[in-house]
Structure 1
Amino acid sequence: MEPEVRGRTTGHPADISCRDLFCSRRSAVASSLSEIKAAIAGVNEYITSTSTAAAVEEQSIVTQDMSTNMQRASAELAA
């Protein structure tokens, strides 16, 4: 039999098994990368939604403080 030369196989059953194993591992790696990508997207969505909620809450508190301060100032001017 002719030995394997880069990219060419001898047609031996072992060559087919190696090719199948390589394809199987490549498929497993691709699947794992897809799972990692989905996990990162989930974390990113969580961080974004949490940050947005925190920013809205902080803005609400600031607005409430401004309103209270303006009411005090108005009451002091009226007195």
Structure 2
Amino acid sequence: MIRSFALTVSIITNRIWGVVAFLLFADRVPQAEPPATIAGISTWAGWTVPLLISQWWLERQPRRRRAVAGQREVVSL
């Protein structure tokens, strides 16, 4: 569910990254290419950043739960 939510949020972050990419790269990209370059950057960043954050979240949280689950298993024996 967390990854699915991250991909859903990517639609919103795509627009945010588009503005950021435009502000950072509009003057550095050749004049014929800015729309395509900025669209590519915002598209990739729009779904990879939320997915990386969600993966970090998933790898971070279960450690506490595993320790608690491991203690419960030992206690229940």
TM-score normalised by the chain length of structure 1: 0.46
Q: Which has the larger radius of gyration?
A: 1
TM-score, normalised via structure 2 length: 0.47
Instruction: Return the structure number with greater relative CO, CA threshold 8 A, min gap 6.
Output: 2
